């Protein structure tokens, strides 16, 4: 079958790989009808994610039709149309029982590798290295889905792929980012990053009752998309973001600050961002946390800093004194997608949320290498890419 594979920093190929098979009685195999490229895939593409092997199949935002089901699968049948959460979860362990699926303690066979970095292991993820399970990803014609009774959710008849696909990741992730802010009517929320995740967070913040949302980025088309949702835009290249936010909130700061950027911010964001860049390039540092610093500084006393942008290691020069003395809560996590899927599917069905607005580019798997580049370099107004194998 055809699939997008990793071949080192900046090199992705569309090539033939073996088709996946049922490996455990709880698996299904799906024929992929739509899949997407995520900002998290860019960390792999940019060579930031360790433990990737040449030829690894990429992708974790995938949906399709069940073509084969293991003997223990009870909830799905051949022919069902499903969307698959990016986090793989057993459904039975300590964390899964509490709904914290992205903390599953059984789904990452590489947990010993993850422990070397993080002392403990999160769940396995599709297409996301030999530190998080070594699972083949879903930017391919077929995908093996383990724990099929726990992860995939059936797509109602009449709902299009474009409507359902983002239940796999970015809609739940943006929604969780906003939910973590404990939004009350009248609140002001600031969102750093107007990529696909930031866009979902902005609209979710309004859905949850925010009165004002500030959207921060430097890419014109992305800021325009945020403005279309009703957000006030701040171009971080033109001003001091923290000063602007304090100014707009009577000096208090935003009630909730969402980091939807993570470890790879624009290197020209600020002087400290440039210093971070040098530290990472010379292996003196692991992450580039300029957005996290700004989010803490721009957050009001007792507000929430909600982090969904991905970080990998140790954070330097974090203003933790500011956070501690002012009572700021920091919430974060890989999204336990399974927990949000039924609610958000309902929001789509009932017309309260239409995630299709974010799609700007479509193609076949063969277009994947070019579209990865377009997404990374934000060419031609690219915000979100959907591939149809």
List residues binding Zn ion (CB under 5 A). 38, 40, 89-90, 93, 96, 104, 106, 169
Helix%, strand%, coil% for the chain, nearest 5: 35, 20, 45
Q: Which of residues 44-83 bind ligand NAD (CB under 6 A)?
A: none
Answer with the entry of ligand NAD, Zn ion, none that 265 interacts with (C-beta below 5 to 8 A by kind). Answer: ligand NAD
We find the least distance from the C-beta atom of residue 184 to ligand NAD, in angstroms, to be 24
* 197-256 positions binding ligand NAD, by CB under 6 A: 197-198, 216-219, 222, 236
Site string for ligand NAD, 149-178 (x = CB under 6 A): --------------------xx--x-----
Which residues, including other chains, have CB under 8 Å from residue 267's CB and lie 6 or more apart?
Answer: 273, 274, 277, 288
Contacting range for ligand NAD; rule: CB under 6 A; set: 158-166, 244-252, 295-303, 305-313: 305-313
Residues 6+ apart with CB under 8 A from 88: 104, 107, 108, 123, 124, 125, 126, 133, 135, 146, 147, 151
Question: How far is residue 346 from each of residues 35, 148, 157, measured CA to CA in Å?
Answer: 21, 21, 13
Tell me which DSSP letter residue 356 carries.
Answer: G
Among Zn ion, ligand NAD, none, residue 96 binds (CB under 5-8 Å by kind): Zn ion
- Taking the complex as a whole, the smallest distance from the CB of residue 305 to ligand NAD amounts, in Å, to 14
Please enumerate in sequence order all residues whose Cβ is within 8 A of that of 384, keeping only pairs 6 or more positions apart, or say none. Answer: 36, 37, 170, 196, 358, 359, 360, 361, 375
Q: How far is the CB of 375 from ligand NAD (least distance, A)?
A: 7
Q: How many CB atoms lie within 10 A of CB 317?
A: 14
If binding is defined by CB under 6 A, does position 335 make contact with ligand NAD? yes
Instruction: Write the DSSP assignment of 276-307 as a string of letters.
Output: HHHHHHTTS-S---HHHHHHHHTEEEEEEEEE
Site string for ligand NAD, 112-151 (x = CB under 6 A): ----------------------------------------
For 51, left (φ over 0), alpha (ψ -120 to 50), or beta?
left
Cβ atoms < 10 Å from Cβ of 231: 26
Nearer to ligand NAD, 72 or 240 (CB): 240
Binding residue for ligand NAD, selected from 64, 265, 289, 303, defined by CB under 6 A: 265
- Count CB neighbours of 29 within 10 A: 21
- 């049948």: which residue's tokens? 77
Q: Binding to ligand NAD by residue 334, rule CB under 6 A?
A: yes
Q: Which residue number, 29 or 52, has a Cβ lying nearer to ligand NAD?
A: 52
Residues 24-43 that bind ligand NAD (CB under 6 A): 38-40, 42-43
371 forms part of the interface with ligand NAD (CB under 6 A): no
Chain residues binding ligand NAD by CB under 6 A are 38-40, 42-43, 169-170, 173, 192-198, 216-219, 222, 236, 260-262, 265-266, 269, 290-291, 308-310, 334-335
């Amino acid at each position: 079958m055809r699939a997008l594979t990793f071949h080192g920093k900046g090199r992705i190929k569309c090539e033939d790989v073996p088709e996946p098979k049922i490996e455990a009685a709880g698996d299904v195999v799906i024929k992929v009808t739509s899949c997407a490229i995520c900002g998290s895939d860019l960390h792999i593409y940019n060579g930031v994610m360790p433990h990737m092997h040449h030829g690894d199949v990429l992708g974790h935002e995938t949906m399709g039709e069940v073509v084969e089901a293991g003997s223990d699968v009870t909830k799905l049948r051949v022919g069902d149309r499903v969307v698959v959460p990016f986090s793989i979860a057993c459904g039975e362990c300590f964390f899964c029982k509490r709904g914290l699926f992205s903390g599953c303690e059984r789904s990452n066979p590489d947990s010993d590798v993850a422990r070397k970095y993080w002392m403990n292991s999160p769940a396995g993820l599709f297409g996301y290295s030999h530190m998080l399970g070594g699972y083949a990803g879903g930017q391919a014609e077929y995908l093996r889905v383990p724990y099929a009774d726990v992860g995939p959710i059936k797509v109602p008849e009449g709902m299009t792929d474009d409507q359902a696909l983002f239940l796999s990741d970015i809609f739940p992730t943006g929604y969780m980012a906003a939910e973590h802010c404990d939004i009350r009517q009248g609140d002001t929320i600031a969102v750093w990053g107007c990529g696909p995740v930031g866009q979902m967070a902005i609209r979710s913040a309004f859905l949850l009752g925010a009165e004002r949302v500030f959207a921060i980025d430097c890419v014109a088309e992305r800021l325009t998309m945020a403005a279309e949702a009703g957000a006030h835009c701040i171009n971080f290249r033109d001003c001091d973001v923290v000063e602007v936010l304090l100014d707009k909130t009577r000096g208090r700061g935003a009630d909730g600050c969402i980091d939807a950027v993570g470890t790879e911010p624009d290197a020209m964001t600020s002087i400290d961002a440039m210093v971070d860049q040098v530290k990472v390039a010379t292996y003196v540092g692991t992450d580039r946390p300029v957005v996290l610093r700004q989010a803490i500084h721009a957050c009001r006393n007792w507000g929430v800093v909600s982090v969904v942008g991905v970080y990998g290691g140790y954070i330097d020069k974090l203003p933790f004194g500011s956070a501690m003395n002012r009572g700021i809560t920091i919430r974060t996590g890989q999204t336990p997608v399974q927990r949000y899927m039924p609610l958000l599917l309902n929001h789509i069905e009932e017309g309260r949320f239409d995630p299709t607005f974010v799609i700007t580019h479509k193609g076949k798997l063969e277009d994947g290498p070019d579209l990865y580049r377009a997404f990374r370099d934000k060419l031609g107004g690219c915000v979100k890419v959907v591939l149809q194998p």
